[in-house]
Structure 1
Amino acid sequence: MHKPTILPAMVLSGLLVVGCQGPQGNAAGNGSMMQTSANEAIPGGNPPMSQANSASPMAVPAPTDAPTYIAKAGAGDLFEIESSRAVLGKSKNAKVTEFAKMMIKQHQDSTAKVKAAAAKAKLTVPAPILLPDQQAMLDQIKTADAASVDTVYLRHQQTAHEAALALHQGYAETGDTPALNAAAAEIATVVKTHIGHLADMQAR
């Protein structure tokens, strides 16, 4: 008579474990593999979505093409000049009026610097036009009364200079025209000093 085959206990235990996993066990394993794959998309194992959510939705990359940079630089300088002229007729604060006069002079200089770099690259510089948000800030400065004009002016100067710094720094690093890259880097350095002056005035 044929004797039944007796499997060792360790082999039987292994078969039982595999059988208990079944489809659900495989699904769990696949889920783990999918998670690992997603995590490997970003160094450190963080899922890509978590990084995307942490980015600021308002962040706007600096332009890399010369015509867009020239237009935005011109609009920024125009706002600085016109808003500073507007505050000069209202402010009684010597520090604010001194800063406004410096803004007019130095942003005229930066406009000239961009024009010279554009001419070197044989590019046309159109007449600057304020963007809608710049026009709105200028209108607020013009309509502010003497008691509030300094606060309104300095607040909008802060906003405008932060945008200008991002514009010039970004183009200096990634722009497509070497002559304008150099001009943008020089202007960014000046804008940083303006932001420092604004911080000093608003701290007082």
Structure 2
Amino acid sequence: MKPTLLAIAAAGLWTAAATAQSVTPAQFVAKAGASDKFEIESAKLETSSANSALAQFASKMIADHTQSTQMVKQAAIADKLMPKPPMLDAMQAKDLAALRAAKGSSRDALYIQQQKAAHADALSLMQSYASNGTAHNLKAAAGQIVPVVQMHKDMIDKM
């Protein structure tokens, strides 16, 4: 018997929901922190881009992701967690190294590519935790961060 498209879609939604529910508050804090750190560190390389729109975007990323890091940290403390300093995951470290090695318009193109992927991941994380998170203050912070990340995603998708 062949699975129907509806059954396949339902299974995919169930898997996404199960994954979101399985993220502990500490895991959420770590993932959000890593995401923000990657955004900030990669943006620092682009603030001097010859592409003024990209340089402005990078400056906005530094400001907005510094703010979201603080929001998540404060929410974690309010939820009785002791957040650790943000750390890049292995893929983010690799992407940042590649960005550092690139120059000029090649760096700009790589930055845009990385930002599209990073913001899609960040948006998914924030939306999932805002819907399914178990720590009240972190869930509220994720909900406040969602529209900001969506705005960033919309901005980078146009570049």
TM-score range, shorter chain: 0.7 to 0.9
Question: For 2:46, which of 87, 93, 102 is the aligned residue?
Answer: 87
Q: Name the structure 2 match of 1:13.
A: none
Distance (whole Å) between structure 2 residues aligned to residue 132 and residue 64 of structure 1? 19
Shift of 1:47: 5.9
Calculate the TM-score normalised by the size of structure 2.
Answer: 0.88
Q: Does 1:51 align with 2:8?
A: yes
Identity, % of aligned positions: 37
Q: Name the structure 1 match of 2:106.
A: 148
Q: Which protein is richer in helix relative to its size?
A: 2
Q: Name the structure 2 match of 1:115.
A: 73
Question: For 2:59, which of 101, 108, 111 is the aligned residue?
Answer: 101
Distance (whole Å) between structure 2 residues aligned to residue 96 and residue 156 of structure 1? 13
- Bigger radius of gyration: 1
Q: Name the structure 1 match of 2:87.
A: 129
Shift of 1:121: 1.1
Aligned residues between the structures:
153
Q: Does 1:165 align with 2:123?
A: yes
Shift of 1:136: 1.1
Which blocks of at least 5 consecutive residues in structure 2 are unaligned? none
SS state of the match for residue 128, structure 1? coil
Q: Does 1:180 align with 2:143?
A: no
Calculate the TM-score normalised by the size of structure 1.
Answer: 0.69
Higher relative contact order (CA closer than 8 Å, sequence separation 6+): 2
Which blocks of at least 5 consecutive residues in structure 1 are unaligned? 1-34, 40-45
Question: Aligned-pair RMSD on alpha carbons?
Answer: 2.3
Structure 2 counterpart of 1:189, one-letter code:
P
Q: Which moved more, 1:144-153 or 1:98-107?
A: 144-153
Question: For 2:29, which of 58, 67, 70 is the aligned residue?
Answer: 70
